[in-house]
A and B are shown apart, each in its own frame.
Chain A
Amino acid sequence: MKLHTLLIAFCLFIFTPLASFGSADRNQVHLHSIRADFVQEKHLKILVRPLISTGFFAFQAPRSLRWEYLTPVPSIMLMHNGKLNKYTKTDGQFTEQRGMGVDSMQFMLGEISNWLEGRFRENEMFTASFPDEKTILLKPRDQTLAGLISSIELKLADQRGILDTITIFEGTDSYTRMTFSNAVINKNIPASLFSQK
C-alpha cells in the first residue's frame, strides 16, 4: 500500500465516522454537511509531552472535503469535483504536495458514500463493534493495515450524529486523539471552501 493511500485512508478514518455514525444507529440523522473544530494530540513513547495540533474540517455530501491544520504546521487537504489537492505551508506560503493519486481519492470517496448511506458495518477495511452506547471500536481486517493501526475508538457526543473524540491506536505507547468541538451540521457550506486555499 502506497504512503499516500495510507495518508488518505488515515484522514478518512478520522472524519467519516463523524459524518456517518448518526446514520448507522437507530436514531438516524441524515447528515449532508458538517463542520467542526478539532484538537489533535499525538502521543508517542519518546515524546515528553504530547504534540498538539489544531484545525477544523468541513464535509459536504457527496464529495467535498476541507481538512485544515492551523497549528503547528499549517496544512490543507481539499477534495472537490473529483480533484484532490494537499498543501503545506513552507517558507511562508502554501505549496502543493505531490503524489496524491486519483485511485486513492476514488477509494476514499467510495468509502464516504458508503458511510453516508448508512452502510457502516459493510466497511471493507474495519470490523465494527459497540462496547457501550457511546463507543464504537474499529479493528482492521487487513494485516498490512493492522501493522500500522491496531484499532480506532470513536466516542459519541451527546448531540446525535456527532462524535466527541476519535482515538487512533498504533501500538501500546502510540496513539492520536482528536477532540471535536463547535460542530455545525446540515448548514450549507460555500463550494469555495472546498476549492480554494
Chain B
Amino acid sequence: MKLHIFCLSAMMVLLTGCAVEKQRLLPNLSPAPAMEETSCSAAVFPRGKWQFIHAIDFSMKNGSGTAVIGVTSLSRNTIDCALVTIEGLTLFEAAYEEEKGLEIRRAVPPFDNPLFAEGLMQDLRAIFQPPTGGNMQTGQIPGATAVCRYADNMGRVIDVLPEADDCWQINIYNSEMTLDRSIAGRSCRTNGSAQVPEYLELNSYGQTGYTLKMTLIRADKL
C-alpha cells in the first residue's frame, strides 16, 4: 500500500515537473489580426522622462532576501537608479547610457559586486525599455490575444503581451528558447500614454533564480 502511494506521489511530482518545464519553453506564435508594433511598446514601456519609486522586496530561492526602496529615472537613452534602505541609507547608485554603458556611482557591500550592478541594470532595462535590435513579429500565443515577439542580437526572444490580465507581461527566453525571466505588471493605471503598473513582479529562473516584487510608491512624469 505504502509503495503504491509512494509511486503515485513520485509520478505526480514528475508530471508536475514536466508540465512546469513545458510552460517555460517558447510557445509557437500563430497569426493574429494585423497589429502595430507601437501598440506593444506604447502600452508597456513609458515614453519620455519619468521617475518611479518602488518598494522592492527581493527574495532568493533559498528564502533569503531584503526590502529596499528603488528609484528609477528614465530619460531618452539613460536610466539612473538608486537603492535606498527604508532607514535612508543609499546602498547603490548607478546610471546606464546606451553610448557610455554602465557607470556605478556608489555601491555599499554586498551591492559592490559588478555582476549585481549588471544584473540590476539588465532587469531595469527589461522592465522600462523596449527591446532593441533584431526582428519583430506580431501574433498570438495560447492564453494571450496579442503578442509582439522580438528577437534580439544576443539570440534571445522577448514576448511582450500588452494585454495580460489587467495590465501587461514580458517573457524573456534565452538562446535555448527557455524562459529566463518573466515580468508581470498588475493593476495598471493610465498616466498619459503609458500604462503604469501599481505592482510589478519579476521572476528570474534557473539555479540562481530570484524574485523582485515591486510596489509603486509614486510615478512622476518629468
Binding site for B on A (CB under 8 A): 1-3, 6-7, 10-11, 14, 40, 42, 44, 46-49, 51, 53, 69, 72-73, 75, 88, 90-91, 97-99, 148, 168, 170-171, 174, 176, 178
Pairs A-B, 5 closest by C-beta atoms:
A176-B88, A88-B67, A90-B57, A73-B55, A72-B217
Given contacts A2-B109, A46-B80, contact A73 B71 (CB under 8 A): no
Residues of chain B within 8 A (CB-CB) of A97 are 65-67
Q: Are B82 and A53 in contact (CB under 8 A)?
A: no
B59 CB to closest chain A CB, in angstroms?
A: 9
The closest CB in chain A to the CB of B95 belongs to A46
When chains A and B are docked, how far (Å) is the Cα of A118 from the Cα of B217?
40
Residues of chain B within 8 A (CB-CB) of A1 are 109
Q: Does B86 contact A (CB under 8 A)?
A: yes
Q: Does B93 contact A (CB under 8 A)?
A: yes
When chains A and B are docked, how far (Å) is the Cα of A178 from the Cα of B109?
25
Residues of chain A within 8 A (CB-CB) of B217 are 51, 72-73
Interchain pairs with CB closer than 8 A, number? 87
The closest CB in chain B to the CB of A176 belongs to B88
Residues of chain A within 8 A (CB-CB) of B88 are 10, 40, 42, 53, 168, 176, 178
Residues of chain A within 8 A (CB-CB) of B73 are 46, 48
Q: Are A51 and B69 in contact (CB under 8 A)?
A: yes
Q: Does B85 contact A (CB under 8 A)?
A: yes
B61 CB to closest chain A CB, in angstroms?
A: 14
Given contacts A1-B109, A73-B67, A148-B108, contact A10 B80 (CB under 8 A): no
The closest CB in chain B to the CB of A40 belongs to B88
Given contacts A44-B71, A46-B73, A90-B67, contact A11 B87 (CB under 8 A): yes
B97 CB to closest chain A CB, in angstroms?
A: 14
Residues of chain A within 8 A (CB-CB) of B53 are 51
The closest CB in chain A to the CB of B68 belongs to A73
A5 CB to closest chain B CB, in angstroms?
A: 10
Q: Are A99 and B64 in contact (CB under 8 A)?
A: yes
A40 CB to closest chain B CB, in angstroms?
A: 6
When chains A and B are docked, how far (Å) is the Cα of A88 from the Cα of B85?
11
Residues of chain B within 8 A (CB-CB) of A69 are 86
The closest CB in chain B to the CB of A174 belongs to B90
Q: Does B222 contact A (CB under 8 A)?
A: yes
When chains A and B are docked, how far (Å) is the Cα of A72 from the Cα of B214?
13
B104 CB to closest chain A CB, in angstroms?
A: 14
When chains A and B are docked, how far (Å) is the Cα of A14 from the Cα of B86?
13
Residues of chain B within 8 A (CB-CB) of A88 are 57, 67, 86
Q: Are A48 and B222 in contact (CB under 8 A)?
A: yes
When chains A and B are docked, how far (Å) is the Cα of A78 from the Cα of B116?
30
When chains A and B are docked, how far (Å) is the Cα of A88 from the Cα of B51?
24
* Residue contacts A-B, CB under 8 angstroms, 13 given: A6-B108, A7-B85, A7-B87, A7-B89, A14-B87, A40-B88, A46-B81, A48-B222, A72-B55, A88-B67, A99-B64, A170-B106, A176-B89
